Structure formats: structure tokens, C-alpha cells
Amino acid sequence: MADGYRSVAIVESGEPLVDIPAAAFAFTAPHPYVALGAPYGDASPWRLRRGVLDALLRAADRLAERRPGWRLKLFDAWRPVPVQAFMVWREFHLQAARLGRPLHTYADPADLARRAPALYAELAPTVFTFWGLPSDDPATPPPHSTGAAVDLTLADAAGREVDMGCPIDETTARAYPDHYAGASLPGHRVIHGHRQLLHEVMSAAGFSRHVNEWWHFSMGDQMAAFTRGEPFARHGRAP
């Protein structure tokens, strides 16, 4: 997919952001990026476009039919552009730390690219395989900043997260949706089955899955439109 999806035109739907009802889903608590100090201000991350929320509720119902007592467990939903920038820069720090190359003397990715272009070129491909560019351009919003994308997993009837093979936001090949497809180990086949179940209930409700992340689904944004071959996206950057 690379950045091809960012070329899709946006014809804004005007659907408002609405609160996600607490009773309908399980939630990661505290919210993982709020806990890291991401700059949400007074805004709640637990919001989606109205039509996207309606579809997510349909997916939850379908999961309950397939696995009685199971629930969709939400990890993240709406993400303002400043939060996207915060998380992207944090990921640059994490990737650099793995190389023993701390970034404390740099201000942001642009500063890193300007002053240490070789290091930026080494880190950026991994970062942007999993994180959308924190663009301020209304024509190229990060997917979560549209209010049309959600990161989530599955919780069983006892409220426990099921094994999906790696944590949400892991930046390795284990994050790829089909990483465990064709696995020979029974435990790995179970993991692939869980990923397929999540994909099936979400796609039946109209969502498209990120090609590199088993946990990321969206509807009506540029990424979903690109994946589905649609001529335009319906959701641009949400207020």
C-alpha cells in the first residue's frame, strides 16, 4: 500500500464525531496514549464518525452471534493530528533505542531528517510501515484523525483478551495479518483463527483492514477507499 492511499480524493461526508457507548464494548483502560501523555487536551479518544460507530455496533453483534459472550475490545479510536505526531516521534525514539542511537538532541522527525538524514532514512521505513504520517494537510489526514479508524482486539466470555500473536502497535512482521497463516504449530493456528474471526466480523460490517496490522480497521477514509478501489473517501480530518 505504501503511501498510495494518500492520493485518494476526499469528498467530506460531514458526519459528526460521536461518543462510543461504554456498554457496547470492552475498552483498554487507561487509554494507552492518554497514559503516555499524548496531547488530547480535554478531548476524548473514544469517538468515531456516526456511521462508523453504527457499523462497529453491527460487528459487535455479529461477534456475539459467532462467539456468545465475546466482545470487541477497543484500543484506540479518534486520534487528533498532534497525538499522531506525538506517537510517531515516540516510535522514532523506540526504533532508535533498539539501535543504541538515542534521539534526545533532535526535536522532531523533520529535525532528524535535516540534521541526520542517514539515521532518518534507516528509521523511517519501519516507523511509517505502521504509523500514518502526521500530516496537517486536509487532503492527507492520518487515518485515525478522520474518526473513521479503530484499533481493537477480541475479549472472551471471561473478559480476557484472546491471543492474537503480538500486542497492538508491535512493529515487527508478527503484526502482519497473515503472519500465522499456514502455521504448523497448533497454538499458531489458533492465533490465525482469532485474527480471521476479527477480520470476518469487521469486514461483514463494512470495514477494511490495514494491510500491515491485524488490529486496524477503517471505513470511508482514504485507506479504506484505496483498499476497496473506490474513487473517493467520505471522511477527511475530523474536527
Catalytic site positions: 213
Distance CA 106, CA 109 (A): 8
Helix, strand or coil for residue 198? helix
Residue 195 CB-half CA count within 13 A: 28
Closest CA to 8 of 239, 238, 228: 228
Closest CA to 132 of 27, 59, 237, 42: 237
- By the 8 A CB rule, do 150 and 217 touch? yes
